């Protein structure tokens, strides 16, 4: 059994502290403009108040894999990845019209109660949540640029930010364009790769590696590790969305089904179901009035088609590929190698 590096135990609190300090300072300046901005400020604080900080962890260990030492500056640089994530999920909840995030009301839902007296509260709440997401993305770049690392180090990684933004938005657009359609598993995997996999694992690793002066061979290993692992992460998320405990996932099991999300799980079931099951599945997907009995009907179809088992196999295959990628190029830091192996298991075996 691998032992978790000591730095992994202490990294999350340090990232939390860096985010809290940065966001508190920025929100204070934001709210000074006008007291009526306080509800938006509250949502900005909430947006970064939770999470496992896995994107920050990948960035940090990308740096450490280059043989670089631990510093508070690189922790702040890694924390900027969490602001990208906060922006992405704020926008994602708007697009999906999700009521909950991490067990609490999503930004656009929480803002409804903070806007008494407005003639169109729903429009105002959604608009303010969208702008909050935009500001969070801006803050990500700001925190990265002011993290304290030398300018020459930052210059090595800065070009990846445009790649990250382009591919993340492309993935979001593809999900919208494919929502409600009958897609192949390959189409669903392409959406996963660009919407989640790359900005969750590959890009943070690459940014950390470039900050640390990684060789071309090490950067290639990060991609060979990061892309399949990021896909496995989202495939696990797709399973948790339907089979997970809402008390742990913080979201309803009906969200993806009611929204007719183009997940690999549903694509596989559509491809491999009997004609009767396929017809029943299509009659359920996208319905706003789905209830617990409907969820059980969908689960049975997913089981009968073999889709659930196949997704578990895909997760296992991609996790093995990620582990193997780390063995092909020697990492300059053995502690980082251990941490990245541990992270691969952590993100694919989680329950939330």
pLDDT, average across residues 110-114: 87
pLDDT, average across residues 107-121: 85
pLDDT, average across residues 37-48: 95
pLDDT, average across residues 235-241: 94
Residues 278, 283, 286, 291, Cα dihedral to 10°? -110
The domain total for the chain is 1
Q: Is the pLDDT of residue 186 over 80?
A: yes
176 domain-assigned: yes
| Percent share of the chain, pLDDT over 70 | 97
Q: Is the pLDDT of residue 185 over 50?
A: yes
* Neighbouring-strand partners of residue 274: none
Q: Is the separation of the CB atoms in 273 and 301 below 8 Å?
A: yes
Q: Is the separation of the CB atoms in 80 and 208 below 8 Å?
A: no
pLDDT, average across residues 129-133: 96
pLDDT category of residue 10 using cuts at 50, 70 and 90: confident
Coil, strand, or helix at residue 104? strand
Q: What is the DSSP string of 279-339?
A: HHHHHHTT-TT--HHHHHHHHHHHHHHTHHHHHHHHHHHHHHHHHHHHHHS--S-HHHHHH
Q: Is the separation of the CB atoms in 210 and 156 below 8 Å?
A: yes
160 domain-assigned: yes
Q: Is the separation of the CB atoms in 153 and 76 below 8 Å?
A: no
Q: Is the separation of the CB atoms in 232 and 323 below 8 Å?
A: no
Q: Which domain CATH number covers 247?
A: 1.10.600.10
Residues 200, 206: Cα–Cα separation, whole Å: 11
Q: Is the separation of the CB atoms in 319 and 347 below 8 Å?
A: no
1 domain-assigned: no
- Tell me what pLDDT residue 1 has: 43
- Tell me what pLDDT residue 100 has: 73
Residues 343, 349: Cα–Cα separation, whole Å: 10
Enter the pTM of the model.
0.93
212 domain-assigned: yes
Answer with the residue of higher pLDDT: 183 or 160.
Answer: 160
State the chain's mean pLDDT as an integer.
92
Q: Is the separation of the CB atoms in 242 and 253 below 8 Å?
A: yes
Coil, strand, or helix at residue 210? helix
Q: Which domain holds residue 209?
A: 6-348
Q: Tell me: the pLDDT tens digits for 312-342?
A: 999 999 999 999 999 988 777 889 999 999 9
Q: Is the separation of the CB atoms in 47 and 132 below 8 Å?
A: yes
Phi-psi region of 290 (alpha: psi -120 to 50; beta: other; left: phi over 0): beta
pLDDT, average across residues 165-181: 90
146 domain-assigned: yes
């Amino acid at each position: 059994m691998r032992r978790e590096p000591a730095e992994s135990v202490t990294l999350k609190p340090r990232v939390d502290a860096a985010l809290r300090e940065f966001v508190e300072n920025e929100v204070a300046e934001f709210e000074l403009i006008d007291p009526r901005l306080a509800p938006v400020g509250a949502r900005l604080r909430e947006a970064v108040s939770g999470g496992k900080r896995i994107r920050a962890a990948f960035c940090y260990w990308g740096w450490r894999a280059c043989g670089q030492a631990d510093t508070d500056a690189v922790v702040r640089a890694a924390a900027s990845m969490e602001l990208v994530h906060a922006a992405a999920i704020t926008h994602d909840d708007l697009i999906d019209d999700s009521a909950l995030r991490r067990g609490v009301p999503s930004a656009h839902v929480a803002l409804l109660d903070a806007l008494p007296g407005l003639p169109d509260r729903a429009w105002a709440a959604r608009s303010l949540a969208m702008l909050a997401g935009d500001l969070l993305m801006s803050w990500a770049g700001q925190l990265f640029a002011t993290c304290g690392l030398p300018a020459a180090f930052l210059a090595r990684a800065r070009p990846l930010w445009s790649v990250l933004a382009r591919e993340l938005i492309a993935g979001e657009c593809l999900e919208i364009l494919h929502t409600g359609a009958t897609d192949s598993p390959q189409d669903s995997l392409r959406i996963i790769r660009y919407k989640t996999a790359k900005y969750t694992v590959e890009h943070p690793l690459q940014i950390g590696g470039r900050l640390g002066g990684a060789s071309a061979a090490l950067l290639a290993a990060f991609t060979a590790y990061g892309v399949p692992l990021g896909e496995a992460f989202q495939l696990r998320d797709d399973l948790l969305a339907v089979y997970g405990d809402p008390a742990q996932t913080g979201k309803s099991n009906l969200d993806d089904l009611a929204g007719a999300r183009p997940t690999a799980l549903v694509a596989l079931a559509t491809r491999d179901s009997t004609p009767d099951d396929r017809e029943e599945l299509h009659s359920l997907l996208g319905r706003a009035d789905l209830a617990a009995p409907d969820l059980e009907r969908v689960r049975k179809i997913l089981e009968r088609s073999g889709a659930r088992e196949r997704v578990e196999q895909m997760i296992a295959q991609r996790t093995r590929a990620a582990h193997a990628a780390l063995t092909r190029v020697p990492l300059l830091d053995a502690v980082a190698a251990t941490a990245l192996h541990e992270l691969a298991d952590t993100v694919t075996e989680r329950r939330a």
